[in-house]
């Protein structure tokens, strides 16, 4: 039996007619987990200070070296991907575009991207797109 995660909406778990919903596929599970890693700042979650991306120190506190910036995402991505084929980061105006390609533990091909920008002194992660085995997965 495949393992599912609780389905997450924009702000919380999804409940319909009093029932909790779960991810519909292994691809949706992988995509949701990767999206949560990208949306979480390292140190933000009390139970695991290493969960997420260290945006403050390793992304926006680092020199604008695109190779080093791409590597800042490796720890977060490697928790869900068995193999990371590539990670690229491109500095754009007041932000950073990140793209990655990898392979999940069960052999699924995974590609993804996100846009990280600064707005009014804060960091915003948006535009997360993840494809698993060629199928785009909708991220709530």
Question: Band of the pLDDT at 93, cuts 50, 70, 90?
Answer: confident
Contact of 26 with 53, CB cutoff 8 Å: no
- Is 101 a member of any domain? yes
Is pLDDT at 1 greater than 60 in this prediction?
Answer: no
- What SS3 string covers 7-39? CECCCCECEECCEECECCCHHHHHHHHHHHHHH
- Is 82 a member of any domain? yes
- Is 43 a member of any domain? yes
What CATH code is carried by the domain that includes residue 133? Answer: 3.10.450
Number of domains composing the chain: 1
- Is 129 a member of any domain? yes
Is this structure's pTM higher than 0.85? Answer: yes
pLDDT at 50: 87
| Cα within 13 Å of Cα(82), Cβ side | 7
Structural domain including 120 reads 26-137
């Amino acid at each position: 039996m495949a393992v599912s995660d609780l389905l997450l909406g924009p702000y919380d778990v999804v409940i319909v007619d009093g029932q909790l919903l779960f991810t519909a596929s292994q691809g949706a599970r992988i995509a949701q987990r990767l999206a949560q890693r990208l949306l979480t700042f390292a140190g933000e979650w009390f139970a695991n200070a290493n969960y997420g991306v260290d945006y403050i120190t390793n992304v926006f506190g680092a020199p604008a070296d695109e190779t080093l910036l791409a590597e800042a995402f490796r720890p977060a991505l490697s928790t869900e991907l068995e193999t990371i084929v590539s990670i690229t980061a491109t500095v754009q105006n007041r932000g950073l575009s990140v793209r990655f390609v990898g392979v999940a533990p069960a052999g699924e091909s995974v590609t993804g991207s996100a846009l990280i920008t600064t707005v009014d002194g804060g960091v915003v992660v948006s535009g997360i797109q993840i494809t698993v085995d060629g199928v785009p997965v909708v991220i709530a």
